[in-house]
Every structure is written in structure tokens, then in C-alpha cells.
Structure 1
Amino acid sequence: MTRSRQTALAFRFALREMRGGLRGFMIFLTCIALGVAAIGGVNSVARAIGSGVAAEGQQLLGGDIRFEINQREATPEELAFLNEQGTVTHAAGMRSMVRLEDGSDQTLAEVKAVDAAYPLYGALQTEPALPAGALFGEKDGVFGAAAPDTLFERLNLKPGDRVRLGSTTFELRALLVTEPDALSDGFGFAPRLLVSLDGLRAAGLIQPGSLVEHSYKLRLPSNAQSDEAITVLRDRAGADFPEAGWSIRTRSNAAPALSSNIERFSQFLTLVGLTALVVGGVGVANAVRAYLEAKRGVIATFKSLGASGGFVLSVYLIQILLIAAVGVAIGLVVGALMPYAASAFLQSFIPVPAEVGLYPSALALAALFGFMVTLAFALLPLGRARDVPATALFREMGFEGRGWPRLIYIALSLGLGVALAALSVWFASDRRIAITFVGAAIFSFIVLRAVAAIVQLAARRAPRVRSTALRLAIGNIHRPGALTPSVVLSLGLGLTLLVTLAMIDGNLRRQIAGGLPENAPNFFFVDIQPGEVDGFAGLLKAQAPEGKLVQVPMLRGRIMALNGTDVQKLDVPPEGAWVLRGDRGLTYAKNLPENSTLSEGTWWPADYQDEPLVSFSAQEARELNLKLGDSVTVNVLGRNVTAKISNFREVQWESMGINFVMVFSPNTFAGAPHSWLATLMLNGDTANEGQILNAVTRAYPAVTSVRVKDALDVVNRIVAQLGTAIRGAAGVALIASILVLSGALAAGNRARIHDAVVLKTLGATRRTLIAAFSLEYMLLGLATAIFALLAGGVAGWYVVAQVMKLPWSFLPDVALGTVVAALVLTVGFGLIGTWRVLGHKAAPVLREL
């Protein structure tokens, strides 16, 4: 018979055998569908949001291209260049204190000042809707403003009420509903206050050295709006004004922080979905093994009638692939619908209209993963069944104890696993994280198999006990065909992932809510003018005599080059890229700052006057591959300054004190206008925080006061939201683990039925059997929980202590919760399946022995 005719015949037999339905494959289908839906849906949602960001780039950015400068406005030459290109709108942003007219209360606000041309794209929506003149214009010496409901709530205000900003009074004339370019401005810790540029200048907040960002957004002529023309304009601006120090962003990269976060989070969820799919692969193996066990007689008949092992394998491989196709199809349908379901939900979190539609590449990747996982885990039981002779099938209980299949099937299974790992890394946005994740998954599989073997060895060598139920339980753990490997593997992966995430989340919460506030200052004060430093210190000394005040000079600057090479041309690792992205706080000092330890090099003399020197944070220097003697070029106030690295410092970032990546020698910025930054620590006495804040705001209205507790509350809410999302994603993997656990128990039911019938025939009671099975599942659950605690604890320690550089502690409540969860899952699902096993009558089963 030719190969094509043999394949056609195998296909016909496969379809005939499937007429009986998909009984026994529901867990198989669910595992595949769940993993495919997670991968396809997450990637589809991410691409929908990405497409929405790209389509709304002009509105999100507020122009076709944006030029942003810190601490200064554009020079006449720069402004003339921008005006030549198209329509320009100028905005300024800074943080400042907004207070009631009587000074009785105040709050921090993200102040944004705009001109009459704003917005160039999109629409500014307020309630009531007012034109720009009526909304921001000056009436009887009072400027107008708009703010979101959060600012109204914090100060207990209503539209029409007045507030003080700096030295000027503003009337809140409308509720700010939609700010079209808000997303491109980045995350803010405080509510927005939208005013005019004239109003901000009248408030007296813009002083030499003030931390204010000026942005110039351009609407280009229609014949100059192509991506190529915008790229040419960006390059020309950099070439014509090399020391402008402006950050240039185009509409194609309107919200890089959002795009980056979506990309990273989608990658994390994709890897979690892939973990769920791989965990489901264990369920595939169990389901295939159980299905082949049920078809033992049919396979024996095939072989007795002369069918080759290859023909038998083809018949059942076709069936497995057809069933997998059904699961993949279900997963693809769910994944394709996910962007539609997520669009409305995400609108309350991400003000970007997702471009809902079908994303074939995302769905194709999910389908590919689904089929690869199916084949990788189905080939071994299929290969084992291929070589079992008909006589053995008729005489034996099944395929247990038949050893390994042929080498070709082992090689194919391993090859598919390697290909799956390679594709996961290849399609990842951050391949370093993907490699770590894949490596951890492979390591977990190996270790869990070793754990199962150790548990079985311990059970085999356990001393004989008098309790019949316990003796049966221990025997069930190590007998041939025991459920131990499947239970430990399926439950161990899900619980380990949950413990890891719970440990990370718990330690972060503890640091933010407990450890950090104890060591952190109570207040940060920004934009203190040089002439106010002494008076400001005197005020705080009077208000908090026991408090510790630290004051340092502060500028803003952008790293332009390292060792003379433009940073945009450097290939730096992701962990160090943040230093080169955007502006950094800079300072100068005669002496080594607090919270720092000199790790390499020497500090400059107090009266140093030679070439500019800089002290660099040691950790960040290692990530940027810097060494002593290298040069760093920063742009400050439109001027490029190059300094040589004199030393490296170990910085205690977790102290939340005043820390800088770069500290320069005092002569570097001689004569440059700058402001001062201060912190105040009250040494535990926080009762008069409100009084201090009120006194500072009254005496120095231009100084921005940030209460650390308020900032930590915002961070804590963000961490809580992320923790909820991550735990929800991890729940997908746990659901897959539970399904696989159920499948493993179902796969072992045939052997359990025979065991139960034989034991009952020999006089065992149902109570004894239930107790034996319960103890077996409890022992397995306990062993798995112990492993999950150890492995999850180590993983959590690594992320918190080594990656985040934060103190780590073991959390007993997490440990207890994990043990309880493991016992409930194993005992609960085990007894559900066992109850059906114990209900079988003895006679029909004994006749088949």
C-alpha cells in the first residue's frame, strides 16, 4: 500500500472512531483553548491599543512634532526656526501648590499653561464648554482656569470658586473633562490645573532655575506631514541647533511610556499564557494516555489484523490533531473577540480608542503555539503505544511500565520544545526577560520531575506503618502508574508562580506602607530660589525644631553623549536605558553626599577649580559600561558641558532621600541659574505636617511642597492595581494547573477502579479507601506546597532583592495560604474523582481482569 493510500485510510479510520464524540478530551480542549485564547487575546488587545495610539498620534502628541526644553524658553533663533515650519503652540508645565484664597488648605497640582493656539489637534472639552478667551482670560485682575474633579474634591470647591497659584488669584471656571494631549505628557502624581501662559507668568512661578518644561508643538503644512518629511525636520533641528538640548518627539512616538508599558505588560501576559499552555500540555499528555488506555482493545485488534505500528500511530495522531484543532479554534474565537470586550473596559484607564479588529498575525502565533504544545506532549504516549505488541495489550492492564518510546519520538518531542522556546524568545520585545522566563519554566519542569521522584523514593523507603489507610496511601504514591509526577508537575507550576508574585507584591506593599516611610523624609521642597534658602531654613527651624533639613542645589540636564558618542547611537541594556532617557536631576557638591558610599576613585578637593568632574552612581555606571576617566556630556540650559568621571558612588536609592545619578564638581556650573531642593525629616513627629505645609505655602507660594505620604499613597494604589492585574494573569496559569490536575486524576481512574474493586473484594471498607485516597492526596499536596514555597520564595527574593534592590522578608501568611490552597485543591479534586471510582460494582470489573 502506498504512503498516500495508507494516510487516507488512517484518516478514514480516525474519523470513524471519533463518531463517539470527544468524551475524555474536555480537559484537553479546555487547556488548549485557554492557552491559545490567552496568547491570541493579549496580543490582539496590545496591537489594538498600539494601532489606536498610532492612528491618534497627532492628537495624543498635540502636533506632528514636539520640541521640549527644560528650565528655559526657546531663543529667538530657535523660535524663528520653529515658526518657519508651520503653526506653533507653546505650553509650559510644572508642579506647584494650589491653595485656597484664605490659605486654610492647599494641594499639589500639575500646572499646565497654554497659549491661544492650543490645541492644534483634537478638542479641549470642559463643562461648561467655554472658548479659550472666556476660559483662561483675565477679568478684573483674575485669570481663569480649568481643573478635573479630583482637584475640586481635594479642596472642596465648585466651579466659580477661586484659588491662589503663586502670587495670583485664579477662578475655576470649568471642569476639565478631556485634555487631548494629556497622555503624551506622562504620568502625574497630582491633579491637573490648566491655565494660560499669561496667567502662569503673572503667578511669578517661573524664576531662574525653576523646574519648568516648555514644549513647542507644530502643525505642519499638509505637504510636509509625511513621516519622511518629519524625520528630515527632526534631523535638521538637531544639526542646526546642536546645543539646544531639546527633546524631540514625533507623532509616531506620541506616548512612548504608554507604548512601552503596554508592550512589556503584553509580553508578560503572553509568557504567562504560554506557561498556561505548557502546563496544559501536561494535561494533553494525560488525556492522550487515558484515551489510548481506553482504546487498548481497538489498538490490539488493529495489530492482530496486520496493521503496522506506524499506521496505528497515524490514526491516533490524526485524531489528536483534529481535537487540538477544535481547541485552537475555540481559543482563536475567544482571542479574536477579546479586543472588542476590552475596548470599552480600557477606556476608563487608557484614554485611547483602541482600533478594534482582527489581528491575524497575533492569532496565527497563538495557533502555532497551540499545535506545537499539543505535538510536543502527545508524541511520547503515542510513540509508546506504537511499539506495544498485541499480545501484551490483550494481557496487560495497559501501557504502564512500558518504558520509553523510540528515540525518534523523544527527539521530535524535545525538538518541538526547543522550537517553542526559541519562538517565544524571538517574538518577545525584551528577549532578555523572555530567555529568563523560558529558562525558569524549563528549570521548573526538570526540578518538579525531580521532586516527584524524590517523593516517590521517600514513600518507597518509608517505614511500615500500622494504619491500613496510611499504608495504602504511601503505596499509591510510589506504585507503577502513580499519579505523583502528574500531580506534582501540574499543581507545582501554578502554585510556584502564585507564591512568587504574592511574595513580590507583599514585599513591595510592606516597603511602601511600612519600611520606606520610616526611613524617608516627610517632605520634599522644590524650586527654592537661591535668595530664599536661608529664610526657608529659618522658617522650617521655627516650625519643626527637632526636624532634619537637607538642602542641595539642583538643575535639570540631559545626557547627550558618553565618551563623545551620541547616546542615540549607543546600544545600552534596558536596565540602564532609563538614565539616558529624558532629563535627569543634577547637582554639585564639595563633599560626598549622604546616603552614598565611595566605591571607586577619589573625591575632588573642596576648592577644586580644574576641568569639570562628575561622580556617577556605581550601579548605573556598570549598566552603561562606564569606567573611571570616561567622559559624560550633559546639556544644561542650552549649553553642552563635558565632565570626566572621577569616582563611582554606591547610592541608597531606597532611603528616598536626596540622591542623584550624577554629582558634579562645584566649578562645573559656576554662574548657571538654578534652584534648590530640600527634604525635611520630622523624626516620627508627624502631627504638625499640615501646619508646616500651610506655613511654607503661605510664606513661599512659589515653592513646591510634596508630602511623601501623599506620593506613597499614589504609588501604593498603582502597585495595588498592577498586583491585581498580575494575580489575575497568574490565575490563568493556576486554572490550567487545576484542569491538568483534574485530567491527571481522570487519567488514573481506570487503575483506581481496579484497585478499589480488588481491595473491597478483600474486605476493605469504603471508609478505609476514602481515608487512604485522602491521605495520598494530602501528602502530595503538602509536598507540592513545600516546593512551591521554596521555589517561589527564592524567585521572589531574587526579583525584590537583586532586581529591585529592596529589602526582602519571608511572609508567613503567604506560606500558610499556599499550603491551604494546595491541600484544598488536591484533596478536593482527588475526592471528587475518587467518589465516582468507589461507586463501581465489583462483578463487571472482575470479569475483565
Structure 2
Amino acid sequence: MIMLARAGRFALRELRGGLSGFFVFLALIALGVAAIAAVGSVSRAMTEGLAREGAVILGGDSAVTLVQRQATPEERAFLEGEGAVSEIASLRGMARRTDGADQALVEIKAVDGAYPLTGSLEVAPGGQSLDAAKPLQALADPELLTRLGLAVGDALDLGAARLTIAGTIVSEPDKLATGLGFGPRLLVTRAALDAAQLLQPGSLVQWSYRVRLAGDADPLAVSKRATEQFPEAGWQIRTRDDASPGLRRNIDQFTQYLTLVGLAALIVGGVGVANAVGSFIDMKRPVIATLRALGASSRFVVAVYFMQIMALAAIGVVIGLAIGAVVPLLAVRLLADVLPVGAETGFYPAELAIAALFGLMTALTFALVPLGRIRDVQPAALFRDIGAGLPARIRWPYLAAAILSAALTAGLAVFFAYDRRIALMFVVAIAGAFLLLRLVGWLVMRGARMAPRARSTEWRFAIGNIHRPGALTASVVLSLGLGLTLLVAIALIDGSLRRQLTGAMPDNGPSFFFLDVPSAEQARFTDFLAEEVPGGTIESVPMLRGRIVSVAGVRAADLKPAPDQAWVLQGDRGVTFSATLPRNSRLVAGEWWLADYSGEPLVSLESRVAEGLGVSLGDSIEVNVLGRPVTAKVANLRQVDWESLAINFVMVFSPNAFAGAPYTVLTTLAYPGGGDPAREATLMKDAGRAFPAITAVRVREALDRVSDILGQLMLAIRIASSVAVAASVLVLAGALAAGHRRRLHDAVILKTLGATRRQLVSAFSLEYGLIGLATAIFGVLAGSLAAYGVVAGVMKQSFYFAAASAVGAAVAAVVVTVVLGLAGTWRLLGQKAAPVLRNL
């Protein structure tokens, strides 16, 4: 203890000299800690906002959802016995101008007089709320009026009804509970929906019953009673405590990604920490040697500098925490209009503590290795040449401690992650990237050492600098490589997903999906399309909605599906029945049933979904359709070509499974030789006039909407990832700055021997360019492999290599390396020779 106290006094005395040389060190620690703290605080604020506003987001204390059917009198009576009830019908339809000049797909929401039970519906000034005395009115999303060129007070046609636009919607309290829509909102009364005649047997409509419980009733207890009393109702029940599970899941997933980006910035920054600590200790060699000469033990010297480094790390952590605590306050105010929930940020000690822990652990991990070299600095170092540097050997206790610290940091990252599998993949990828970059650095130095002697003086000097003792090669490759790999991976993931949505449209793919075609109208509608589009390819299949209740006797809630196939169990899925194998599908296991099959119900599953659910041939699947349970045996597995955009379903049943059940027909139309916007717009108008109850979805519009959402997401990811890229640039700058002291002596000696400024600039440019080029090649290869793993392995999509993006990132890396290197070197070239030569 006495030794540690004395070491602490020595450490504080040396720190009085200022923080010169440690600004990059502090910036890197602060940047990573600030990113993790800010992300954690914003996430906590949004999560608390979800919990605080749960009843408003859900539209009540509990919400019961049914697909394609209303609640029975008994079910409705049960709900009304628990509290006030509001009934809502949600479906898609076509809103048209009364002159037939234009139309648009809309998300219809038909409400009763009790809506909203919680929160308030806000209408723009100049408009009016829905009035039961005027049933043929509607409230519209401003986007719909802009798209159709209408204004408040104008009329529009919906199905068979003509409605007056009473106002525009500013705020819809339960919008988040509805989920993502493919069109703007149109809010109508139940009477208006009946007048529109859109509700036909088998129509794809979702009925929601929001319940405001009486007194202090427990929503979970009510949910349990509902399930016990109506076990085969097939309804989905949510409570205010989990008002928007999809949004909560998205927040958790995005938070995890941003946290991992912040952790990546810290790890990249750790390289800078190691560089800064190594450079600092190299400068302190005379001090260390003096202390050893005066009798100080190696343990005492290590303790002195360990305390200094961790004290500096603590300063960086405090700066990062301060930034991380303030940024969310500003962000929530600036982004209040676009955040999905109201978030009132506060002080979140747990999130700040996690960020601080990561910062300190990262500093400790990367400082241990250079600190371990202190023990072997001998008093004789006072008389050695300045180029001798620190001892290369690291004692095994310090190396073991660094490995243990790294393992603990990785374990913490996995432990605090939302998806520990992805976090573990991230940790393994980072560890692999470190080892590979170390190998690349070694190979570059080895290649330079084995290169034939160049005739050019500049080339000889550049190549010699790459492999000389104390060369910057390893530091530059490591710092630049990680950031470049991340940059290339994000660019290629973005390009692959965009190409998947827009660039990979099949030439013979459908231009339209027509929903809610009544089965009785199918023949007439098919004839209409054949007459309007001669030679067009028309396909029609029956369609119902169903929710998986159990698989192989295991309840859906108790299943543990593969993460990439969990979506199958979340809500209702489209199902169909067919006597023949659907087009663009091929059997990979089992056999298709006979056309006149009449035995027990059978089902065909998409093969990847079956694998994700752990389903085998012969297993049973129970699906609730129209409130009735249907149990079918898995007869075969199919591989589906989803990219063709042809009609296909995850589950295809034998025709006898839904005998007598009401259904609608899903129809697709593909133009011969491909359609064009003008022909498609004309067809939409004609179809709207002839069949007002049928919903037309243009494939390109739907893909464009998804592409816009993807673009916003990728922009957010790019902005977040810029933290790690900024850390890479800082580390690169720090690594280059750390070598400037040695470069100063090189430049002075070479100038003394007759080298010109031009020769030195050329030599340094070649050195930085060669290192940057080697790193760029690795970054492109590693980033491409990482992107391929995410797109093809995790997302199960086709990977597309965007050469322009990858090469552009590589060129940028080389330019950044050369510019940063010369920016520091240029100042050295103007130094006077005498002061430097005196101290050699």
C-alpha cells in the first residue's frame, strides 16, 4: 500500500505537466463512451415513453384483434363486462377522385362513436372531427390530399360511397399500434364503411376491440380470463404494458446496432490508446531509466504509469459521459416530430455506468501491452540511441492480463446485448479482423523487406520505412483497416438491398396485385383484365388469413424459432389452398397431394421456414382461420422463388382443408413485354370504376415505398457508423503523429546529407500510399465478405457487389492516409537541423 501511495504521488506530479500528446487518446475514449451513453439514454427514454404512453399507443388498456371476422355476441359481451369497448375495422382500399382522374391506395380505419378511448385525435385547424350525424364523412392524411389534388370540403369515392373530406389528421393516438401501412390513412365512420360495400365474405379486414378496463383491473388477468373462456377464438390480445411489440423490438434491435457501433468506435480507439501509450512511454524512456538507476523497482515504475494512463482514461470517460448525457436532451427536442413516441430524457445512471465501464475496460485492455514493456527498460537506455525504442518483448503476465481484460469486455458486450447471438458474431468478427489486420501488417512489412532494391532513392526510402524497426505500418493498417471494412460493408449491404427491391424486378414479373376480389366476381374480373390487357399474364389464387397456433403440439408462444424465421409466428399470415404445385416453387421433400385428395387436411411449408421452426414431414400445424382451428399434417416442403414476385405463400393447404369457407381471390397481372406508367394508370382508373370494391396495388409503388423506408434506415445507419469511421481517422492521425518524432530526425539527417524537400515529400507520399493501398485492398475484401455474410447469411437475400462503392471507399482510404501523413510531415520538413543534431 505504501508503494502504491508513493506511485500515486509520482503519477500526479508528472500529470501536472499537462496533457500534451494525449488529446487523441482523450478524444477516442470520449467519442466511444459518448456514443454508447447517448444511444443507451435515448433508447431508455423511448422505452420509458412506450411504457408511459402504453394505453394511448394501444388505444386502451387491452386490445383484442381478430382477422376476417367480428367478435361473436358472447365475445363482445365478455369484453363489455370488463370495461368500455371501442370497435375498429382496418383494411386497404382505393380512394378515387369523383371525376375518375386519379386514385390512390389507402389504409382505411373505420371507427365507432367511442373512439378514441384513450388519447385524443387531433384535426388540423379548419377541419372538423367525424360526426355520427354526418356518417358519409372522412378524415384524411395530408399526403392523400396532396396525391389526389384535393382539399378539405372536397368529395372522394371509396368503394360504392361518396364521402366528404371533413379535415386532415394531425395526430392519431393509436397509430403505432396499427403498424406499417402501404398508403396514407383514411379515417371513416362504421356507417361510411358499410356504405362503401367493401366488407364482403372473406375480405381481408382486421377487427380490433380496444378495452378501457374498469377501476384498477389488471390487463394481464383479463387477457388470461379471455383466453381461458374462449380458447378457440383465435384472437390476439395485447396489453398496455406491451402496446407496440414491433416498435419495442425495433428500438431494441436498433439500439443494439448503435451500441455495437459505439463499441466498435471504442475498440478502434483502443488501437489509438495503445499507440498513444506506446509513444508516451517511449518519450519517457529517459525518465524510466533514471528511476530505475535511482533504485526504483520495475513494479513501482509500472504502477506510476498505469495510474497516469487510467487517470487520463477516466478524464476521457467523464468527457464522454457529459457529452452522452447532453446529446439525448438536444436530440429529443430536435427530433420530437419524427420520433415514434414521446421521449422525455432524463439522467439514466445505469446506461451511463455501462458506457463508463466499456470505456475503462477498453483503455485497460489496450494499455496493458505497452505498459508491459516498461519492466525491461534498463538504466543503460540513458546512453542508447534515440531510435532504439521500447523493448519488443512483452512479459507473459501483462499479455495474459490484456487477453483476460479483452475477454471480459467481449463478455460484457454479449451480456448487455438484446440479441446475444448477433453480439457474439460481432465480437468474433472484431477479434478476427484484429488478427487478420495484424497478419496483413506483418505481410506488408515482410513484402517490403523482401522487395528487390529499387533504383529510385525515393522508392528505396519509402520501402525501407515500411519495414524498419518502429515502422508505422502495423498501426496504420490496424487503425484504417477496421474503419474501412465497416464503411465498405455498409455500402455493399445498402446496394444489395436496394438492388433487391428495385433493380432486380423480373422482366415477366407482375405489375399489379389485386386484393379482395370476391370469389363470385373472379370470372368477370378476369375477363375484364383480359380485355383491357390483351396478351397479359393473369394469375388468381384463393386467399385467407390465418395465425399459427401450434406446431407439432407445441404452442406458438412456447416455440423457439430461428431468429430469421421468427416473423412467421408474429401475427397473421396469408394462406391459400391449391390442388397443384404453385408456379415458381419446387418440391425439396415429400410429395404433392392428388388433385382429388379428400383425406385429412395437408399443408405444404416453405423449406426455410420449416427449418427455422424445426418442422419435419409428418408433423402437425394448427392454424386459426376465421376463428376456427384447422389442424393439418405437413405433407411436403417447397423451395420458393420469391424474387419472381409471383403469387406464393408460406403455407399452401390441400383444397379440402377449407371446404365451404368464405374467401377472396388474389389476382396478379403482368403486361406482355412489361408495363409502363401511363398504361398502368389508365388500367387503375378503369378497374376502379368497374370494380370499386377491389384494391389495386402497383408493385413498383409498393417497392418504392419500401425503398424509401430502407433509404431512411440506411441513412441513419451511415450517420451512426460515422462514429466508428471518425474514430478510425483519429487513430490514423494519432498513429502518424506518434511517428513524427522519429520522422523529424530522419528528415533532418536526410536534408543534411543533401536530400531535397521534393524528394522527401515524394518518399513519404509513396510510403503512406503503399500502406494505404495494402489496407484498402484488405478493407474491400473483408468488407465484401462481411456484407455477403449479412445479406446472404443473415437476411437470406441475394448479394450484389457494387464495385463503384467498394473502389470509391478504397480510393478514399488511400487519399486520407496520404493527406494525413503529409499534413504532419510537411511541418517537419521546415525544421532547422542544428537543434535536432545537437541532441542526437
Which TM class, normalised by the smaller chain length?
over 0.9
What SS does the aligned partner of 1:680 have? strand
Q: In 2, distance between residues paired with 1:432 and 1:803?
A: 11
Please report how far the alpha carbon of residue 295 of structure 1 lies from its aligned counterpart in structure 2 after TM superposition: 1.5
Say whether the 8 Å CA contact 2:288–2:377 is kept in structure 1: no
Q: Which residue of 2 aligns with 1:808?
A: 799
State the match for 2:675 in structure 1. Answer: 685
Alpha-carbon shift at residue 846 of structure 1 (Å) = 2.0
TM-fit CA distance, 1:105:
1.2
Q: TM-score, normalised by structure 2?
A: 0.98
CA distance in 2, matches of 1:393, 1:704: 85
Partner-residue secondary structure (3-state), 2:216: helix
1:74-109 deviation per Cα after TM superposition (whole angstroms, max 9, x unaligned): 001100100100000000000000011122211000
Q: Cα deviations across residues 395-443 of structure 1 (Å, max 9, x unaligned)?
A: 1426636222211100000001011111101110101111111111110
Match of 2:175 among 168, 176, 182: 182
CA contact under 8 A between 1:559 and 1:633: conserved in structure 2? Answer: yes
Task: Name 1:506's counterpart in structure 2.
Answer: 495
1:848 corresponds to: 839
Q: Which amino acid aligns with 1:48?
A: A
* Alignment equivalent of 1:647, drawn from 636, 640, 643: 636
Structure 1 match to 2:70: 73
2:829 corresponds, among 832, 838, 845, to: 838
Matches within 5 A, 1:119-134: 119-128=116-125
Shift of 1:706: 0.4
Task: Tell me what 2:288 maps to.
Answer: 299
TM-superposed CA distance for 1:131, in Å, is 6.8
Structure-to-structure mapping, 1:112-151, within 5 angstroms:
112-128=109-125, 135-137=130-132, 139=134, 143-151=136-144
Give the distance between the partners of 2:312 and 2:105, measured in 1 at CA. Answer: 59
Q: Decide which of 315, 318, 343 is 2:307's aligned counterpart.
A: 318
User: 1:129 deviation in Å?
Assistant: 7.1
Tell me, yes or no, if structure 1 residue 217 matches structure 2 residue 210: yes
List aligned pairs for 1:37-116, cutoff 5 A. Answer: 37-116=34-113
Q: Is structure 2 residue 561 aligned with structure 1 residue 572?
A: yes
> Secondary structure in 2 aligned to 1:88?
strand
Deviation of 1:222 (Å): 2.1
TM-superposition CA deviations, 1:155-188 (whole Å, max 9, x none): 1000000011111111001111111001111011
Distance 1:506 1:130, change over 3 A: closer
**Residue number among 751, 755, 758 corresponding to 1:760 in the alignment:** 751
Distance in 1 between residues matched to 2:767 and 2:829, nearest whole Å: 15
Indicate whether 1:746 and 2:737 are aligned.
yes
Select the residue among 752, 772, 785 that pairs with 1:781. Answer: 772
The answer to whether the 8 A contact 1:136-1:145 is kept is no
Q: Deviations over 1:348-407 (max 9, x none)?
A: 223411031011111100000000010101111111012211113431426636222211
**Contact persistence 1:500–1:792 (CA under 8 A):** yes
Q: Are 2:11 and 1:20 aligned?
A: no
**Residues 87 and 220 in structure 1, CA contact (< 8 A), matched pair in contact too:** yes
The answer to whether residue 704 in structure 2 is matched with residue 713 in structure 1 is: yes
Equivalent position to 1:392, from 381, 384, 407: 381
Alignment CA distance shift 1:517-1:152 (3 Å): farther
Residue identity opposite 2:25 in structure 1: F
For structure 1, the 5+ residue unaligned runs are none
SS class of match (1:516): coil
Instruction: Name the CA distance, whole Å, in 1 between partners of 2:110 and 2:506.
Output: 33
Task: Give the CA deviation at 1:519.
Answer: 5.1
Query: Quick one: which of 140, 154, 175 aligns to 1:161?
Result: 154
1:531 Cα deviation from its structure 2 partner? 0.7
Letter in 2 for 1:45: V
The secondary structure found in structure 2 opposite 1:370 is helix
Please give the per-residue CA displacement for 1:7-53, whole angstroms capped at 9, x wherever unaligned.
Answer: 11111111111111100000000000000000111111011001011
Cα contact 1:800–1:806 (8 A) shared by 2: yes
Q: Kindly indicate whether the alpha-carbon contact (under 8 Å) linking 1:33 and 1:328 is maintained by their aligned counterparts in 2.
A: yes
Asked whether 1:350 is paired with 2:339, we answer yes
Residue of structure 1 equivalent to 2:653 = 664
Equivalent residue letter for 2:116: P
Matches of 2:55 and 2:822 in 1, distance apart?
A: 60
What amino acid maps onto 1:93 in structure 2? S
Give the whole-Å Cα distance in 2 for the aligned partners of 1:761 and 1:399: 21
Matches of 2:654 and 2:114, distance apart in 1? 43
- Partner of 2:347, secondary structure, is coil
Which residue type is aligned with residue 384 of structure 1? Answer: R
- What is the letter of the counterpart of residue 457 of structure 1? R
Distance 1:753 1:648 in 2: 70
The answer on 1:772 being equivalent to 2:763 is yes
Contact persistence 2:516–2:666 (CA under 8 A): yes
Q: Contact (CA 8 Å) 1:243, 1:640: kept in 2 or not? A: yes
Contact 2:377–2:390 (8 Å) recurs in 1: no
2:571 counterpart of 1:582 = yes
The C-alpha deviation readout for 1:604-645, integer Å capped at 9, x for no partner, is: 000000000000000010011110000000001111010000
The superposition leaves residues 626-681 of structure 1 with CA deviations (integer Å, 9 ceiling, x where unpaired) of 10000000001111010000000001122222121100000000000110001111
* 1:826 paired residue among 817, 822, 840: 817
Partner of 1:591: 580
- Alignment partner of 1:797 is 2:788: yes
Distance 1:96 1:781 in 2: 56
1:730-763 deviations in whole A, cap 9, x for unaligned? 2111110110011111111121112112222222
Task: Tell me the C-alpha RMSD between the 2 structures.
Answer: 1.3
Amino acid at match of 2:674: G
Per-residue CA deviations over 1:757-790 (Å, capped at 9, x if unaligned) read 2222222222111111000000011111111111
* Structure 1 length-normalised TM: 0.97
Please give the per-residue CA displacement for 1:98-140, whole angstroms capped at 9, x wherever unaligned. Answer: 01112221100000000000111101111247775xx24354x
- SS of equivalent residue, structure 2 residue 71: coil
User: For the Cα contact (< 8 Å) 2:544–2:663, is it kept in 1?
Assistant: yes
Q: Identify which of 340, 351, 358 aligns with 2:329.
A: 340
Secondary structure, aligned partner of 1:802: helix
Kept after mapping to 2: 8 A contact 1:618/1:650: yes
1:173-322 to 2 correspondences below 5 Å: 173-224=166-217, 229-322=218-311
Give SS of 1:188's match: coil
The answer on whether the counterparts of 2:619 and 2:634 sit within 8 Å (CA) in structure 1 is: yes
Query: What is the aligned partner in structure 2 of residue 418 from structure 1?
Result: 407
Q: Deviations over 1:659-711 (max 9, x none)?
A: 21100000000000110001111131324101111111111111110011111
Aligned partners of 1:431, 1:592: CA distance in 2, in Å? 39
Per-residue Cα deviation, 1:179-225 (whole angstroms, up to 9, x for no partner): 1001111011100000011111121111110000000010011221x
1:276-325 deviation digits (Å, cap 9, x = unpaired): 10000010011111111221221111111111111111111111111111
Deviates more, 1:708-717 or 1:637-646: 708-717
Matched residue type, 2:136: F
Q: Which residue in the other structure is 1:532 paired with?
A: 521
Would you say the 8 A contact 2:491–2:806 is kept in 1? no
Whichever residue aligns with residue 71 of structure 1, its letter is Q
